[in-house]
Structure 1
Amino acid sequence: MYKFESTKTLNSTQKEAIRLLWNSEYPINILHETIADTEQYLNKLTDQNHTFVYDDSGNIIAWSFDFIRDQERNFAIIVSSKHQKKGLGIELINQAKKNNSVLNGWVIISQSHKKQDSKPYKSPLEFYQKLGFQTLEEEKEIQGLRLVKIRFEE
């Protein structure tokens, strides 16, 4: 059974869990070497709402949060690959949708990148499209990664 916990503030254990999830699931191009790197990322964002998912042993296995960036409500979500395909991502997105009538995000669409474990990074764009997100025309490149903007509106 999974436990969901929401918070507006983070302790050091949660920040480290975010860093570890980030590094295990995102391409190596954007690793967070230290908690300070994770804090630097988070400190640029305002009005943060975090949700963590814990396994039976109390380990954080997924994280989502919504926040304000560029006067828009954005979100990010990471589910450990060991716990994907179990409905956790859908549940986290549905919770964010309940609390926000509009959600924006940036999704990596370039496919040639590797994760820390050397496995290929698979873009989650199709996952978000199945959940009602629209792909916008806005794209950008960050550290060699191509991203596209997505949006959900009620």
Structure 2
Amino acid sequence: MNLLQTTTLTLAQQEQVRQLWNQEYPCQLSFAESNDFEDWLAKLTNARHLLLVRETGGVRGWLTVFQREKAPWFVLLVDSAVHGRGHGTILLDRAKAQETELNGWVVPHEDYRKPNGDVYRSPVAFYEKNGFAILHDQPLGSAHLSAIRIHWVR
């Protein structure tokens, strides 16, 4: 697998990331239309993307770091077919090398399902293993998704 860093995703990369997003995240977060995902990406401030790409060109992982509330936030996706091989940690380590802190949201339970019907597995243990504080007292203010804030600082 190769890592590709960019500030702009091509349309093909956007579509592959959207499909990966819809495959790996709970149904509540799905983007049914390409335009919806493109609009979401366009709202990110100072976004930088790191893609985990197969030699044949397919996206197997994606990490984006962007500015929100004067702090760096991130989103991380790794294809479940390659979980447990260190790819997520590699992506996080690259982001940590470029930032002094990272913030994100994580679902702390396994009450949601992915679009294919599989249970969405909470990544809390993964983030704890990678040095993130799990801030149970800082829930996401969303009516359709239960999540809590995670934070890493160098």
Shorter-chain TM-score category?
Answer: over 0.9
Partner of 1:131: 130
Secondary structure at 1:146 match in 2? coil
Structure 2 gap ranges (5+): none
Partner of 2:17: 18
What are the within-5 Å matches in structure 2 for residues 3-152 of structure 1?
3-136=2-135, 137-152=137-152
Answer with 52-61 or 87-96: which moved more. Answer: 52-61
CA contact under 8 A between 1:110 and 1:145: conserved in structure 2? no
Q: What code does the residue aligned with 1:58 have?
A: G
Q: What code does the residue aligned with 1:140 have?
A: L
Name the CA distance, whole Å, in 2 between partners of 1:16 and 1:135.
Answer: 31
Name the CA distance, whole Å, in 2 between partners of 1:51 and 1:126.
Answer: 22
Name the CA distance, whole Å, in 1 between partners of 2:8 and 2:57.
Answer: 19
Secondary structure at 1:85 match in 2? coil
Q: What code does the residue aligned with 1:139 have?
A: P
What's the Cα RMSD here?
1.1
Tell me how far 1:143 sits from its aligned partner. Answer: 5.0
After superposition, give the CA deviation of every residue in 1:11-43 in whole Å (9 maximum; x if it has no partner): 101110110010000011111011111112112
Q: In the superposition, relative to structure 1, how do residues 95 and 110 fare at CA in structure 2: closer, same or farther (>3 Å)?
A: same
Name the CA distance, whole Å, in 1 between partners of 2:143 and 2:9.
Answer: 27
Tell me how far 1:140 sits from its aligned partner. Answer: 1.8
How many residues end up aligned between the 2 structures? 153
Which runs of 4 or more aligned residues in structure 1 lie more than 4 Å from their structure 2 counterparts after TM superposition?
Answer: none
Secondary structure at 2:140 match in 1? strand
Name the CA distance, whole Å, in 2 between partners of 1:151 and 1:134.
Answer: 5
How high is the TM-score relative to the length of structure 2? 0.95
Name the CA distance, whole Å, in 2 between partners of 1:80 and 1:86.
Answer: 11
Structure 1 gap ranges (5+): none
Name the CA distance, whole Å, in 2 between partners of 1:98 and 1:18.
Answer: 23
Tell me how far 1:116 sits from its aligned partner. Answer: 1.2
